[in-house]
A and B are shown apart, each in its own frame.
Chain A
């Protein structure tokens, strides 16, 4: 079975490009050119130079001894939190801005949930001297104030999405609308492995640097180039796609995805798409999404703005349906406990999103001789206010 995209833009039963005609020329231009552009030696050279000297790659693969001791196994942390701007998101925005340049675009639009993708986009726009507009849910603007300030400092124009749930889903709608209204000079940098083909594949390719590095780093440290488990959190699914990419066809590696179960999978306040979702079309592709019987999108809930999304990318829907990946629903409370544990055992404050992945150790029951890699998708600085409120961090 193939876990990569086919020529129609599908992963098994999921994918495609369900877009209005107004977006067709843009998406078609991208689809017909992205593979050639990415393959150009000058692109590869520029991309890898920026990943190395600007982003700070390769990011370390750190053996977490105290966590390993607690769970009686071998836990490695892939430190995407050490990337410039604080999360894995910049791998993709560097790649896409280089694509946009080669397509002759001068303006960038993006959506953001937690603000990490917005910051990463604003950063590369500053680097390349491109105009940048970032749509962000009005509620997210409130709960992720430090990232809003960072985007503005970088010169981006942050526009609140005030429709619907005022979160990531609506920011995505508004960014798509903006693109419809500005089709010629603007490129839309989607931040996750969602959206119409070729976005899920293109974003996965840019994030694949994560699993590529895990392979050679594990070879160096453990003498084998695959782990027994790779764990990553999934909202739309970009950090998971990157962490899984080079292990998709490696049967010895189990792929583990942590979804945000919010107040509980069946509480009515959740974002656990594989548990609650059905096949359908959202934001330009066929995948699993949370929806009513009538096909209306259900507004998700998670303590983490980056996972507060009612769908998952088509690659993940296929990994779920085929059984290639195992999905866990992790509640807000479990994520908070895991965040404290990682902070106090390893001196690493994870992003709330990452904390969902860290909460899986408890359920995994890995053996003492096994190797577990968890993708630390981002750092927790942006979430300190939430941690402070929820954990009552007083002496």
Chain B
């Protein structure tokens, strides 16, 4: 069974998914960050593949992408860094990024490499469902990769049903109309949206992302979903961390409320 499905089928507590930019804060920190995230108790790790023009992301993640690229990060180098990750990492690992670097690597070669190093799924926000279904779904499935699709407060019910039917693993529920890190906290309007989606009885579980930055917002989001995703707040923290591993462990535990 894919590690993502296994996780959701046995989870008893809210699931925490943390996004980190590969090759950040320093080029060779990727595995250090992954190991510390797991040690802290993260349930899913989302590894960002740096891109020069990440339009769905806000300033924090864009700057981390830029720094990683300047330090020499590339898709090929990331696979090199991840090649032995399954010797220590047991939690599901997703790669998040933009479609162009994947196209340049070659979609089939990319998916094969993901399977080889033990990546469980992909989040490619600018690969829309229609293009995915027309050109890439068969390749993803051949390599057992889950394609995680997004929904937003503006996505209509019919389209949500369609996304649900194409999705495997979980649905990435964007909490508000925004780029990453643009807003923090959960408003009353958002809670209405969360419960509307919860009442749709979708076949896939949902994780809520965008605007989650602390224990309180994590718990609030998790009330109407299986858990939540943290990105910008984590990237901001590691950008300034002096003792990377220790601070990551402490951060994860504080989000989960375990310290």
Please list the residues of chain A having a beta carbon within 8 angstroms of any beta carbon in chain B. Answer: 16-22, 24-25, 163-164, 169, 173, 176-177, 180-184, 278-284, 291, 293-297
Contact = CB atoms under 8 A, between A and B. Distances in A.
A296 B56 contact: no
A181 B177 contact: yes
Contact of B128 (A21, A181, A283): A21
B66 A280 contact: no
B219 interface: no
Contacts of B152: 21-22, 24-25
Contact of B66 (A164, A176, A184, A291): A164
A322 to B, nearest CB: 21
A368 to B, nearest CB: 47
B101 A294 contact: yes
Contact of A18 (B128, B149, B179): B128
Interface in B107-146: 125-128, 131
B156 interface: yes
Contacts of B150: 20-22
A297 B53 contact: yes
Contact of B100 (A17, A181, A182, A295): A295
Interface in B215-238: none
B26 to A, nearest CB: 19
Contacts of B179: 22, 177, 180-181
Given A21-B150, A21-B151, A21-B152, A176 B55 contact: yes
B62 interface: yes
B52 A296 contact: yes
B11 interface: no
B154 to A, nearest CB: 4
Which 10 pairs across A and B sit closest by C-beta, in order of nearness?
A295-B101, A295-B104, A21-B150, A20-B125, A20-B56, A25-B154, A296-B52, A294-B74, A295-B100, A297-B52
A163 B66 contact: yes
A296 B101 contact: yes
A294 B75 contact: yes
A279 B103 CA distance: 9
B192 interface: no
A293 B103 CA distance: 11
Contacts of A176: 55
Contacts of A279: 103
A293 B74 CA distance: 10
6 contacts: A19-B128, A21-B128, A22-B154, A164-B53, A177-B55, A281-B126
B103 A24 contact: no
B76 interface: yes
B131 A18 contact: yes
B155 interface: yes
A169 B55 CA distance: 11
B104 A294 contact: yes
Interface in B81-101: 98-101
Contacts of B177: 22, 180-184
A233 B209 CA distance: 43
B53 A294 contact: no
A281 B154 contact: no
A321 to B, nearest CB: 16
B36 interface: no
B128 A180 contact: no
Given A180-B177, A281-B126, A295-B100, A21 B149 contact: yes
B39 interface: no
B127 A18 contact: yes
A169 B66 CA distance: 15
Contacts of A181: 177-179, 182
Contact of B99 (A18, A25, A296): A18
Contacts of A293: 104
Contacts of A17: 128
A19 B126 contact: yes
Contact of B104 (A19, A184, A291): A291
B128 A282 contact: no
Interface string B59-79: 100100010010000111000
A206 B180 CA distance: 34
B58 interface: yes
A103 to B, nearest CB: 14
A280 B103 contact: yes
Given A173-B53, A296-B69, 20 more contacts: A18-B127, A18-B131, A20-B56, A20-B125, A20-B150, A21-B128, A21-B151, A22-B125, A25-B152, A25-B156, A176-B55, A180-B179, A184-B154, A278-B104, A280-B103, A282-B53, A283-B55, A284-B126, A291-B104, A293-B104
B55 A20 contact: yes
A24 B149 CA distance: 12
B37 interface: no
A73 to B, nearest CB: 42
Contacts of B99: 18, 281
Contacts of B127: 18
A295 B55 contact: no
Contacts of A173: 53, 55
A297 B51 CA distance: 8
